[in-house]
Chain A
């Protein structure tokens, strides 16, 4: 049972790793090697080496335009790199089209939520299931061949909807949900495929603060169930709260890796965020204090 894994085990697997870009992990599920991608002469991604620890929550941070989303796109087959290779569970993912990456167990969500507006919430969920017999043209014409499986899928979808507190919206169009609910739906839908790695692109962006905690809880639950989570996020509080390990990107390169607390104090990271010659205004601590204040006044 994956859920029985003690919480500390994920954090423990990062224990004592060197805090340098490209450091090898104890049990890597994803490995990226010398991947570059340029847009009109500008290097959007230039990653020498990156490993993602199995069963952990890895935060990917960096200033705007650092290449985080492009790296996501490359790893999930939504974009093709100019050079480089990457693998998943030891098998190469280079040149594997997006839908096959997903079928192998690496699913992603998008920065701009992609709820399928004119499908109901439950249809959105059922779409997420893989290996559906009824998705084959000829079988689709003979309902008895896919009905039993459909009933199983629907039951699973209903369970997940309850867990994500979307069960009351079950038969609404996805287009009628709020922004935060769409994020929840997208995450729940991704889980329908029973993935091994979940890649979340800014899961908290545009989510109202009331829903943030519940979303964070769901992300931690994924880890508890043994899944590997990689996520892109801008909110440092969120990053500190849930990540076991943080990878920092700037100008397409990975400039630092380490546990969240140490990363936040890292000089290079501060420079990357504020520019190397900034006028030494805010330290991370200052920023944290400010953020905390904001939260305090908001609630």
Chain B
């Protein structure tokens, strides 16, 4: 066993690009699910419209990258309005089904032959974020970082931008959730009718929450797309939303830093299990699965982890007992 590579890979994943992507998705979900109690199961749809917003603007319509970013964010707002206007009056489980269906509709449309003229069909679009890559101040070919955290120049640039975005979003959530605005949101999560009886416009607050969380999800999708320079429809399947929920619940819903810690730990654990399983298989310790199957085993562990967390620690690994005692509703 090569423990050095296990730890190095794990630590790199801990602060890596996937952690940034899922931190952003989960910060958005935290606003929806953690604070407002909205069961949005279509978060990946927001990521998709953000990513495709920027990719199509640049590739298909030859607009500048910055305009593409603006369009991507607006697409997030538009999706939130489109979804929210009719569905926010629905019961929680109906909203879950409606949003998951909407995100699947988006994916099927993005990959359809009929729209491939604009979307690139099932192959998606590539090389639309050269502006982002060219802004990179780091020297190509050089390595940056310290200890195990050594990254190539493009990754260093992406990580710098990514974690800055995460930091800004965290600050935004922190400010909002300690304000009276956040108090109303939490009240709606606890009991809509109570909030209504105290003169709060529940529908409008839910809409604001859906838009805000959705736009942060779109930002995540955009970041991921810009950093990989590609969008592919099948990368926006419902599994991504489910993983974002796993991230959120791992770190603790309704906590400002919950989604960020969740994303870091999630990818750390996923990387470790992948490397360990991979080495066990290639060294012949495990014979009943192949190395390509070992990659899937970690997804099984995500599912198992989500079940165990929800059963034993629904408040997340850092949550407090006192709060969970109230959950026996």
Using a CB–CB cutoff of 8 Å, the interface residues on chain A facing chain B are: 76, 78, 97-100, 102-103, 107-110, 114-119, 123, 126-128, 130, 132-137, 139-141, 143, 146, 150, 173, 175-176, 189-190, 192-193
**Contact, CB under 8 Å: B172 / A116:** no
Cβ-defined contact, B179 with A140, below 8 A: yes
CA A126 to CA B208, docked complex, whole Å: 21
Q: Which residue of B lies closest to A76 (CB)?
A: B197
Q: Are the CB atoms of B183 and A127 closer together than 8 Å?
A: yes
Q: Which residues of A contact B202 (CB under 8 A)?
A: 99
- Docked CA distance A109–B197 (Å): 8
Given contact pairs A118-B186, A132-B180, A137-B208, A189 touches B175 in the complex (Cβ within 8 A): no
Contact check, A175 vs B181: say whether CB atoms are below 8 A apart: no
| A281: min CB distance to chain B, Å | 39
Q: Is the CB of B197 within 8 A of A108?
A: yes
Distance in angstroms between the alpha carbons of A123 and B193 in the assembled complex? 17
Contact flag A189-B323 (CB < 8 Å), given A114-B191, A134-B179: no
Residues of chain B lying within 8 A (CB to CB) of residue A103? 199
**Contact A127 B175, CB 8 Å, known A116-B186, A173-B326:** no
Task: Bin the interface of chain B by size.
Answer: 20 to 34
A146 touches B179 (CB 8 A): yes
The 3 A-B pairs of least Cβ separation, nearest first, read A134-B180, A140-B179, A140-B181
Q: Is the CB of A119 within 8 A of B187?
A: yes
Per the bound structure, the CA–CA distance linking A115 and B181 in Å amounts to 18
**CA gap between A173 and B194 in the complex, in Å:** 16
**Chain A residues in 8 Å Cβ range of B181:** 134-137, 139-140
- Contact residues of B: prevailing secondary structure: helix
Cβ A116 vs Cβ B179 within 8 A: no
Check A102/B197 contact, CB under 8 A, given A118-B190, A137-B208, A140-B175: yes
Residues of A within 8 Å of B179, CB to CB, are 134, 139-141, 143, 146
Contact of B193 with A99 in the complex, beta carbons under 8 Å: no
- Given known pairs A107-B197, A173-B322, the reply for A117 and B190 (CB within 8 Å) is yes
B196: Cβ under 8 A from any A Cβ: yes
Considering the complex, give the chain A residue whose CB is closest to the CB of B209.
A137
On chain B, the residues within 8 Å of A114 by CB distance are: 191, 193-194, 197
B254 contact set on A, CB distance < 8 A? 118
Q: How far is the CA of A102 from the CA of B184 in the complex (A)?
A: 15
Q: Which of chain A's residues have a CB closer than 8 A to the CB of B199?
A: 99-100, 102-103, 107, 130, 193
Q: How far is the CA of A88 from the CA of B323 in the complex (A)?
A: 41
Cβ of B63 within 8 Å of any chain A Cβ, yes or no, is: no
Q: Complex Cα distance A123/B199, Å?
A: 16
Cβ-based interface call for B198 (8 A): yes
**How many Å lie between the Cα of A151 and that of B3 in the bound state?**
55
Specify which chain B residues have a CB less than 8 angstroms from the CB of A136 in the assembled complex.
Answer: 181
Q: Tell me if A150 and B180 are in contact (CB < 8 A).
A: yes
Query: B131 near A: Cβ within 8 Å?
Result: no
Instruction: List, in ascending order, chain A residues with CB within 8 A of B325's CB.
Output: 175-176
B200 at the interface (CB under 8 A from A): yes
Q: A41 → chain B, closest Cβ, in Å?
A: 24
Cβ of A102 and Cβ of B196 under 8 Å apart?
A: yes
Contact A127 B187 (CB under 8 A): yes
Mark each residue of chain B from 167 to 197: 1 if its CB lies under 8 Å from any CB of chain A, else 0.
0000010011001111110110111011111
Q: Establish whether residues A102 and B193, one from each chain, have CB atoms under 8 Å apart when the complex forms.
A: no
Q: Contacts of A99 on B, CB cut-off 8 Å? A: 195-196, 198-202
